[in-house]
A and B are shown apart, each in its own frame.
Chain A
């Protein structure tokens, strides 16, 4: 598909995007889709740290064969608008795992947009997104789950939590479920909150300085997104990138 024109806010999947940054990127940049096919019974894990000081859009289309699995873990910590889009189509018994963290300040919008299509029976998917923002920044998770009419025994879950370190930052969660089968499990949850002040004081009362207390609490908060990642070194890389972005955040 070629985009003749830039998307607008009226497009559901671009509702909270930074349209100025999108315009700076231009139509051609948006038309780049990476496609990944995972053959039946095969599995794939991909870890990404995305973001730079220019806008970035990463668009990935994944086909999962019967019993195949794909896992994506992403730290989205750009200093400009950064969007990661994943479209997945699951065949029978396939599994899709997504763990994402948006983190940052500086008034920037960072977002994940996923579309998970359970096209056949018995496939499972699990998405965990954590957003940590401050200084007028925004974190978005637009997650669409489609379950086809005959895709019975689908088990799909989506979990979003936002942590706002100060007033003026925001988090948007837009779960969208389209379910045409009747014997399925689809769970979704979204919460947005502030740092646990009781926990922070408890840590400080033991001698932990405020910056370290904040780092430990943020680390614990975003850790959920990477729990399903078994490779410890990769997990550390993703966490370190996220926590590096936390430097300079308001205490």
Chain B
């Protein structure tokens, strides 16, 4: 589903990704772990098309398309979802309005009919319930006044509503307490565990991987994937640390 080949990217003058290669087929949950500064968030942002991240080499193929040639909103319409490490507050815009615009923009780009207000609210209610989020919160302004944990749960509600084929989740577990972590993990499983979907799960901790059991685990260090293995690799990292495992 996603094939990254020899990807190089920089932020300003600073090269961050230095020949990253990774293949994530449909049906796979692939965890990316790595020390601070390894380029994990840069990878997520490059895949999402965030301004300020310059690709200097390599390619990314997503569902048969050249992902890097698409604008961010086109990537979303093509089925990519970027879960933000720090979801953005948008004062004056309600979650409901924002997500309905987003979903209908994606549907339009795919040549589908827009969802009516009633149908949209029903869908939003279902997904909010899945993440144990009060529907009233979705009527409030996007992420404004939400706690860190609420923002992450709101991200997963968004993912549920938009129903992407591929999710890049950048430290979705950061800022979550133990209960919220279980809810978010279960949400990821429920929304994304499917033979025709895939997930790139960027995380620092085994805790999330206990809930969302990954099929593969890769270590990202120095801007490249240095090791890929099964779920046991994450357990080794947790027990021994990066230095020992990468030595």
Contacts and interface: CB of A to CB of B under 8 A. Distances in A.
Interface of A: 196-199, 201-210, 212-213, 216-217, 219-221, 223-224
Closest 9 CB pairs of A and B: A220-B92, A207-B76, A207-B106, A206-B102, A204-B72, A202-B88, A204-B73, A207-B102, A207-B105
B101 A212 contact: yes
B87 A207 contact: no
B115 to A, nearest CB: 13
A217 B77 contact: no
6 contacts: A199-B90, A202-B87, A210-B71, A216-B101, A217-B93, A220-B93
A202 B77 CA distance: 14
Contacts of A217: 90, 93
A197 B53 CA distance: 14
A179 B136 CA distance: 44
Contact of B90 (A197, A202, A212, A224): A202
Nearest to A197: B51
Contacts of A206: 73, 76, 98-99, 102, 158, 162
Contacts of B105: 207-209, 212
A2 to B, nearest CB: 44
Contacts of B139: none
B82 interface: yes
B128 interface: no
Interface residues of B, number: 30
Contacts of A216: 90, 93, 97-98, 101
A212 B90 CA distance: 14
Contacts of B89: 199
A216 B90 CA distance: 10
A134 B145 CA distance: 31
B88 A199 contact: yes
Given A199-B89, A201-B88, A224-B92, 8 more contacts: A201-B72, A203-B101, A205-B48, A205-B49, A205-B76, A207-B77, A212-B105, A220-B93
A198 B89 CA distance: 9
Given A209-B73, A216-B98, A201 B92 contact: no
A61 B97 CA distance: 39
A207 B93 contact: no
A207 B90 contact: no
A205 B92 contact: no
Q: Which of B72, B89, B158 has the most CB of A within 10 A?
A: B72
A203 B94 CA distance: 12
Contacts of A204: 49, 71-73, 76
Contacts of B51: 197, 201
B88 A198 contact: yes
Contacts of B72: 201, 204-205
A208 B92 contact: no
A197 B105 CA distance: 19
A2 B106 CA distance: 59
B205 interface: no
A80 B11 CA distance: 43
Nearest to B91: A220
B84 interface: yes
A44 B84 CA distance: 47
A213 B49 CA distance: 16
Interface in B96-111: 97-99, 101-103, 105-106, 109
A203 B142 CA distance: 10
Contacts of B49: 204-205
B88 A208 contact: no
